[in-house]
Each structure stands twice: as structure tokens, then as C-alpha cells.
Amino acid sequence: MQGLARLAVPSLILAILAGAPAAWPQPMADSFEITLAMPEGRGHRVAVMLTTPAPGRALPGIVILPDEAGLDGRTARLADVMLTEGWVAIEMDPEPLSPDGAAVPPPPAPRRLGQLLRALHGVLRSDIRVDPERIAVLGLGTGGRGALHAAQDGGGPGFAAHAALYPGCAGLSAEMEAAPGAPALLLLPGAEEPEGACAGLGAAVLRMPGATYAWDHSLGTGIWRWSAAGSVPIRPDRPTTEAGEAKLVSFLASAFSGVR
């Protein structure tokens, strides 16, 4: 990825020639695929979009992991929020489509997502655009469970913080083997998760009153998702979305400030 980082130089020159302020260039997006080394010795290909608000500077980075729907308007909105804070947004698609679009990827397993995230963390630490000590991970749904599993590492540097939106407490509680060693935050849909859900996992838990899964969806009403209980409606909720984003920003800023 250091080689990819060098692409920032011509982009920066073009931005300046186009009239962008030299002191604060326009955000630069870099889309690529990378093969991550997995514990079993096999490589796993993932798609990544890294956007930095200030090329040429090492800034805190936020890895954003989607749910089964893949990268969409929800991850893009979160990326915009992180860029506004002056942080690098790193959207990762753990199961990109085949080059011809014919092969449909299998649903990601949360624990394997944690392994992928730890492998990506190791790569990001060598990227000149990212502060190696201030890398956090944020996930939606199943991706949120993966974000918590990314903390379960045998040693070495890890993520500075972990956050999850509507991860599904029953599955997460059954899967977790150890509490995260770094600050962790869970934002739960208050209309679906019972009182006390996700307790005892070593993470701060915040219930969003009246919210359903994917409250940050932007497509309006009439959206459904399939769960073990059957079809469940999704109710987009802008106030909850904005409140959740504010909580995330405050949590991440606090976690980054605590890194020495």
C-alpha cells in the first residue's frame, strides 16, 4: 500500500492546479483490491476504498465494514462523517464479486471477518497516509460482530477502538471469547434488542430508543430484512442516525486521545 500511497502526489498536484487550496487539498480516494494473508496460510482478496482528507499527512484511520448488503449508502455516509472529522475513511468489502460478476460470494462469518480485519490492520500500519497508532474499526450488522472479533488477537499492536451498529447481541454473545483490550462501543436498535442485551462483553452499550436494524438506511419505508424470526421491517430514522453518528465521533475521538 505504500506504492499506492505514492499516487497521492500527482493527484495533489492536479488539485492545486485546479484551484484547490494548497494548505487543505481536496479529499483523495484510492480504490484497489488487496490479498490479505490469513492464519491458515491462504490469501483472501478484499476490495478497499481509502479516502484521505489531507494527502501527505498521517491521520487517524477508521476501517468501515458493511453487513451482508455490502458497501452502500450507509458506509458512504459514515465515510463522509469520518472525513469531516479529519480522519481517513477506509471502506472494506470483505467479499467482493468475482471479476465477471458471475460468482456470488458466501455470507461472511464474523470470526473470519475479525481475522481479515487484523490482517488489514497490519497492512494499514505501513501506509504513509494513516497514523499507525490510531486505527479504529467500525462495522454494521455482521460486520459489527467482525469489528469486535478483530480485538481477539494473541498479541502485538491492535486497533485503537472497536464500534458496532446493530451487531445482533444473541450471535455476538455466543461468539465472543474474550473482552476487547481496547475501547469498544455497541449501538443497539432499541425496538429489537431487549434490556440488558450485549451486557458483559466488555463494551459500552448504547440503546437507540425505538430504532430498528439499519436505522441509518436511506431508501425510505417498505424495506425488509430476513432474520431467524422471519421478515422484519426496517424503519429509516434520520434523528437516530445523526445521534448515533455523534456518539460514534465522540467515542472515537476519546479513544484516539487516549493513545500515547
pLDDT, residue 10, reads: 33
pLDDT, residue 105, reads: 55
Q: What's phi and psi for 110, nearest 5 deg? A: -55, -40
Establish if 108 belongs to a structural domain: yes
pLDDT, residue 38, reads: 83
| Sign of the dihedral defined by the CA atoms of residues 71, 74, 78, 80, in that order | positive
Determine the 3-state secondary structure of 93 from DSSP.
strand
| Sign of the dihedral defined by the CA atoms of residues 73, 78, 79, 84, in that order | positive
Residue recorded with cell 505501513 = 126
pLDDT, residue 4, reads: 33
Number of separate domains in the chain: 1
Establish if 179 belongs to a structural domain: yes
Establish if 218 belongs to a structural domain: no
Residues of the chain falling short of pLDDT 70: 1-25, 97-108, 152-155, 219-231, 260
Q: Cα–Cα distances in Å, from 219 out to 72, 166, 187, 216, 238?
A: 11, 18, 21, 9, 11
Per cent of the chain over pLDDT 90 is 62
pLDDT, residue 231, reads: 63
Cell (9 digits) for 260: 500515547
CA dihedral 29, 237, 68, 161 (to 10 degrees): 60
| Cα 69–Cα 114–Cα 181 angle in degrees, nearest 5 | 130
pLDDT, residue 226, reads: 56
Whole-prediction pTM = 0.84
Establish if 62 belongs to a structural domain: yes
Asked if residue 141 lies in contact with residue 165, where contact means CB atoms within 8 angstroms, the answer is yes
Q: For position 155, which CATH number holds?
A: 3.40.50.1820
Establish if 233 belongs to a structural domain: no
pLDDT, residue 13, reads: 29
pLDDT, residue 85, reads: 97
Domain that holds residue 184: 2-207+240-257
Establish if 224 belongs to a structural domain: no
225-249 b/e (C-beta count within 10 Å ≥ 16 → b) = beeeeeebebbbbeebbebbbebbb
Establish if 231 belongs to a structural domain: no
Establish if 49 belongs to a structural domain: yes
